[in-house]
Homo-oligomer: A and B are copies of this chain.
Amino acid sequence: MTPLPGLAIDSLKHWPVRFPKGHLIFDEGDVSDCIYRLQRGCVRLQVNSVHGNRQIVQFVLPGDIFGLCPERRNTAAEAVTTVMAHRFSLKSVMEEGLSSPRISLELLRNATVAYQDLAHHIEKIVHLSAVEKVRDFYVWLDQRVEAAGLPPRRRPPMPQRDIADYLGMAPETLSRCIRQLRVARENEALDAA
């Protein structure tokens, strides 16, 4: 049933939870009392500005851990699709987890890799053109889907509005870029024939 790679944290007690599409799992600033490992679906981590602007900083896919905050949530988490996840009590993770080097290493690694990914994401947002950002995103998505052993996607699990808010561009621009990439792909398919 679970094709996900095993993690050390799985040995800790946890409960299955389910969130409907669009559900706010936690908001930035909320008191943190648990962490999650995603089993099915997609979650977006985001921050919101005072002007109502939304910036998505990470798409969580099956197998990923999210929500590790010692006190308050550093981002908001919303269910992009219907979501199945495992919930770990923060208290038990802190007590039992930190006494196990394997688990604390795993959590620490998770945090540093998330930071690294975000750093490179900024670099791309700033230095890449709109089309390059979109191409890059779909390459990343395909890799992740394949690595998770999921069936190859027909359509991304998240709406274009979310992708636009992740890549830092207007939905209209994203739509135009997708079209442009589709046309380019059809052309090189014709050239091959």
Interface residues in chain A, defined as those with a beta carbon under 8 Å from any beta carbon in chain B = 28, 45, 47-49, 51, 53, 55, 57, 68-71, 74-75, 94, 98-99, 101, 104-105, 108-109, 111-116, 118-127, 168
Contacts and interface: CB of A to CB of B under 8 A. Distances in A.
Question: So how many copies of this chain end up in the complex?
Answer: 2
In the A-B complex, the 4 residue pairs with the smallest Cβ-Cβ separation, listed nearest first, are A74-B116, A55-B123, A126-B168, A53-B127
A112 B69 contact: yes
A49 to B, nearest CB: 5
18 contacts: A47-B116, A47-B119, A49-B123, A49-B127, A55-B122, A69-B112, A70-B112, A74-B115, A74-B116, A74-B119, A108-B111, A111-B112, A114-B115, A115-B118, A118-B119, A121-B122, A122-B122, A125-B168
